[in-house]
Each structure stands twice: as structure tokens, then as C-alpha cells.
Structure 1
Amino acid sequence: MSLSSARSASGTASRVRAGRMDSHQFGDRLLLGLVILLAILWTVPLVWVLGLSFKPNDVLMHSTGGILSAPFTLKNYADILASSNVFTWILNSIIVSGGQTVLTLVVCSLAGYGFARTEFPFKGVIFALVLAGLAVPEQAIVIPLFKMFADINLHNTYAALILPRLAVPFGVFLMTQYFRAVPREIEEAALLDNASRLKIFLVVVLPLSIPAQATLGIYTFLASWNDYLWPLISASKPEMFTLTVGLASTQMNFAQSEGIGFLMAQAIFAGLPILILYLFFQRHIVTAVAGTTVR
């Protein structure tokens, strides 16, 4: 092959590689643009709600447009804080959501490790029954739960608000699958050192499941904080209301009583703690999805 032919072939190969690189860059930019567009579309309703929460209600009675133009007011948030029970409702939500999260992590971790690493009679049948719980709608068990806790006089207590939500089939399934992915060699090495099964679980296996624990914990806390149906049924005393039920109780006749701005301020007020929680733990969610451990 002559020198000129070699140079021509090399130039052709370079142009092909450059073309492929340009096509990859174009595809990446197109994908980035679509993601940005979807993020903007997702954010628009949130910005709209936030803007309305700072608008006077008498202005919103005429038009809900112009959320970025004056006048603005903090009266909607002041009206929320003026309620004598609002901080009690916040405390109740923190206790209920925190209690559910901690106890759910304990129950699901123990159950998941048991299904993943131990052998016992009817293990497959019991695990199938647990998974069948995913198909049972919440509304189907409300009446039996209400009668059960009414018979033992536990309504209007933290126990009644927390205990029914500890049966989380999804959490058991998630932890079981995560523990099954942990190499058995790690546990076998601990067994050679005469470590008990409980010690292996607490010292060796449990720290490796931090991503799954964080994901399940955030999911549980979010579901508990936003739960409305069961607290509405179980808690009849205002001092035992959670934040969602308490804020809803202040709405006498939808938007006509307090105004749209007041309703939007309630939505922001109730959702802000969840947003803060997610910002603190979003790294754990990403690592759990990626299948890695947090360092």
C-alpha cells in the first residue's frame, strides 16, 4: 500500500470516528434537552402553587394569573400559624411518621433477612402470602382495622396511628431481595469466627443494606406524612390530628371559606418537611437505585 493510500484510509477512519462522536454528542444534547424540558414542565405547577400562596385572597377571587406580580402577602401563612393546634399537628405527624419509619425498618429488615438467609417450614408459602398483600387495597381493610382498634379502645392514640401501617409487604420484598444479593462468603467468614446469626445480621449484613434502608425509610416516612384516610378515621380529637387531617379540618367549604391562597399555603406548608427530607437523603436514593453503597 502506497503512502498516499495509507493517508487516505487514515483520513477516512478519522472522519468516521468524528462523525460517530458528533452523533453521540448530538444524542446526548438532545436527551439533556428533553430532561430539562420535562423538569421545567414538572416544576411549573409547583411554582404556580407557591406563587398563589403569597397572593391576597381578594385578588385571587378575580384572577389567578399574574402570580409573579404584586401585590404579595404573608397573611395566608400567618392564618395557618394562628391556629392553636397547628404545632401540635406537626408534632403528631413527626411522632407518627418517625415511629412508623423506625419500626417498619426493624420489622422489614428482620423479616427480609429471615426470608433471604434462613430455612423454616412453609417458607415459600409464607413469602407468597406476604407478596399477596401487595394486591390488597388499603380501603378493603379499613373497616376491620377500625373495629379491631375500637374493641381494644386504642383510637385517638399514637399506637392506633402507627401500628396498622407496620405491615409493609413492599418493604419485606425489598429487603429480602437486597439481602439475597449480599455475598454469602461474607457471612461464612463471620461464622468461622464463631459469630452468632444475630451478630452477623447486626454487625456485618445490616451496615451493607444502608441504601435499601434509606430508600425504604424515605418511602415509609413520605407515605406516613401524607397519609390522610386512616388518621381521619382513627383520630376524632383535634389534639390527635396529624398535619394533613388538621389542615383539612380548617377548610370549612373548600376555597370559598378561606380563599385559594390559603389552600395553596396549606399545600406548601404540609409539603415543605418532605422536600427538606428528600434533599438530605437524595444521595441514598440514587445509590440504592445504582446498586452501590453509600460511602
Structure 2
Amino acid sequence: MARPYDPDTFTAHRRLFWISAVFAVIMLAPVAWIVGLSFKDNAELMVGTQSVFSPPYTLANYVNIFKSSSVFGWLWNSIIVATGQTIGVLILSSMAGYAFARLEFPFRKTLFIIVLFGLAVPEQAIIIARHQMFNWFALHNTYLGLILPGMSSAFGVYLMTQFFRAIPKEIDEAALLDNASAWRIFWKVLLPLTLPAQATLGIFTFLMAWNDYWWPLISATKKEMFTLTIGIASSQSNFAQSEGLGFLTAQAVFASLPVVVVYIFFQRHIVTAVSGGAVK
């Protein structure tokens, strides 16, 4: 049976729609501006950027990326670093979350509190000690040196712990009746139920690793080890003058495409995790 028409509800929904639309336009305006600049001729942009939303447009900036830019090497570095950090965070956070939520061991609560302290300690507070440690082990300008710091995720451990706690313990008891070990319960029974949380954590980790600027700026001093964020930042004083603003913004748009693809592919898992529909 259809619901009766309510003018007040309809008006409230319409106002909410327009408010959301205004904020969406404000957030998307800088993105549209960058995309528009990437399709403009560099000589025209040298005069001014007022014509960004008026023709003519050109693909020359994107063609130049495929011809002579170093962006592909930086892109490959970012893919390796972001993927490595994501896999490492998912493995370590899932195992730690299962241990904190399901297993009994000495000082479990104390260790969990120590892990939570990691959420409050800023990265800048430990950067000197980390730099010295990685220098001692000669890990700077290596993929391992770029990946390892991002694998320690206090947020990931907390998220997976809370998610494992939300799973009914009757599932564990049923598996124990079938003589399943703790590892088998984790790997075969509980871990598949955490897919929405893992997808959410994986996306957030991938985005943070992809956009990370602070640690790669310190650890990667050789151009061939630059990630996209460092490479594009180094181009601002070079390509922006020699190649033009349009070429620089085309690099930025090209660099953001993998992130957009990852988010579009996994967004349904984020919705499932947020709505609490992981365990039925």
C-alpha cells in the first residue's frame, strides 16, 4: 500500500537535496577546474586561466605523458608501495583483531590499550627515530623502506577487533564441536565474514598510502624511487615552467585515476560495512 502524501516531508527532503547539491558543487569545483586545465593549451594558459571552461580543448598534454614523462615510473612505484602496505595491513590487522577479540592471553587488555595509543601519537613525533632506524638498516630508497612504516596500523587493528567482536560467538562454538582449531576457525569461518570490513580498511589504507607525502619525501631521495606524490611535487618547479601548467595538471589527473577506479570497484563493500550488514 502506497504511503500517503506528506507535504512537509516532501519539502524537507527537497531542502536537504538542494543543500547537499550546493555542498557537492563546492567540493567538485576544484576537481572540475583541474580537469579543465589539463585539456587546455599551455600557451593559452600562460596568458591566463580564465578560459578554462571554454573551447578549444586539446589532448596534447595527455599525449606528452605517454611520450616523455617520468610519471609511469612514479606510478609503478606508487602501485607497489600502496599495494604492499594494503596487503600488509590487512594481514596483520586481521590476525591481531582476531587475537584481541577471540583469544585469551596474558596482558591482552594492556596490549590493546597500547595499540590504541598509536591512534593518538602523530607520525611527526617519531619521524626522527624512524629515519635513524631505517638508515641503520640501509632501507632508504627501497620499496621495503617505503612499505614497512605503513603496515603498522592502529586504526586497522581497532577496526578488525571491533568487527570480530560483533560476530556471534556461537559460530566459534559450532566450529569447536567439529574439532576445528583456532587457526581453522579464524581462516575458514570468521575471516570470510569480515570481507566488508577488510574492503573498507583496504580502501582507506590504499588511499592513504597512495597520497602519502611525508614519509616518501624523507625516505626516497633518488628520482627513480619517487612515488607519484613526490614526483609531481618535484615537477612543479620544472615542468610547470618548461612544459606548462596544462601538462602538470594532466599528470595530476592521470595520477588520480587508479584511486578513482579502486573506490568505484569497492564502494559497495564500504556501504555494507557502514550499514552493519556484515553478519546476518
Code of the aligned partner of 2:177: L
1:138 paired with 2:123, answer yes
Q: Could you tell me how far apart the structure 2 residues matched to 1:85 and 1:43 are?
A: 28
1:258-283 per-position Cα deviation (integer Å, ceiling 9, x unaligned): 43323322221111110111111111
Going from structure 1 to structure 2, the CA distance change for 1:42 and 1:294 (only over 3 Å counts) comes to: farther
1:113-128 superposed matches below 5 A: 113-128=98-113
> What are the Cα deviations for residues 21-67 of structure 1, in whole angstroms up to 9, with x where unaligned?
22122222222222223222222221111001111222222221232
Root-mean-square deviation (CA), in Å?
2.0
Structure 1 residue 256 displacement after superposition: 4.3
2:71 and 2:251 in contact (8 A); partners too: no
Amino acid at match of 1:210: L
Cα distance in 1 for partners of 2:203, 2:130 equals 25
- Shift of the 249–61 alpha-carbon distance from structure 1 to 2, 3 Å rule, reads same
Aligned residue among 151, 154, 157 for 1:166: 151
Q: Which deviates more, 193-202 or 35-44?
A: 35-44
4+ residue segments displaced more than 6 Å: none
Residue 270 of structure 2 corresponds to residue 247 of structure 1: no
SS for the counterpart of 1:143 is helix
Structure 2 CA distance for aligned equivalents of residues 86 and 262 of structure 1: 11
1:78 corresponds to 2:63: yes
* Residue 216, structure 1, aligned to residue 201, structure 2: yes
Per the TM alignment, residue 230 of structure 1 is displaced from its structure 2 partner at its CA by 1.1
Task: Please give the alpha-carbon distance, in whole angstroms, between the structure 2 residues aligned to 1:48 and 1:172.
Answer: 38
User: How far is the alpha carbon of 1:104 from its aligned partner?
Assistant: 0.6
- Report the alpha carbon displacement of residue 294 of structure 1 after superposing the two structures with TM: 9.5
- Identical counterparts, % of pairs: 58
> How far apart are the structure 1 equivalents of 2:127 and 2:63?
35
What runs of 5+ residues in structure 1 fail to find an aligned partner? 1-16
Q: 2:79 aligns with which of 94, 107, 123?
A: 94
The size of the alignment, in residue pairs, is 278
Matched, 1:29 2:14: yes
Gaps of 5+ in 2: none
Q: Which residue of 1 aligns with 2:179?
A: 194
What corresponds to 1:205 in structure 2? 190
- How far apart, CA to CA, are the structure 2 residues paired with 1:252 and 1:33? 41
Asked whether the 8 Å contact 1:251–1:257 carries over to 2, the reply is no
In the alignment, residue 154 of structure 1 is paired with which amino acid? L
Structure 1 window deviating more from structure 2 (223-232 vs 173-182): it is: 223-232
Distance 1:84 1:252 in 2: 15
How far apart, CA to CA, are the structure 2 residues paired with 1:85 and 1:61? 23
Instruction: Rate the CA distance shift 1:52–1:121 in 2: closer, same or farther, 3 A.
Output: same
Alpha-carbon distance in structure 2 between the residues aligned to 1:25 and 1:87 = 50
Give the aligned partner of residue 167 of structure 2.
182
Q: Is the 8 A contact 1:76 1:262 kept in 2?
A: yes
* 2:268 pairs with 1:283: yes
Single out whichever of 81-90 and 58-67 deviates more from structure 2.
81-90
CA distance in 1, matches of 2:40, 2:265: 30
The answer to whether the Cα contact below 8 Å between 2:40 and 2:246 also exists between their aligned partners in 1 is yes
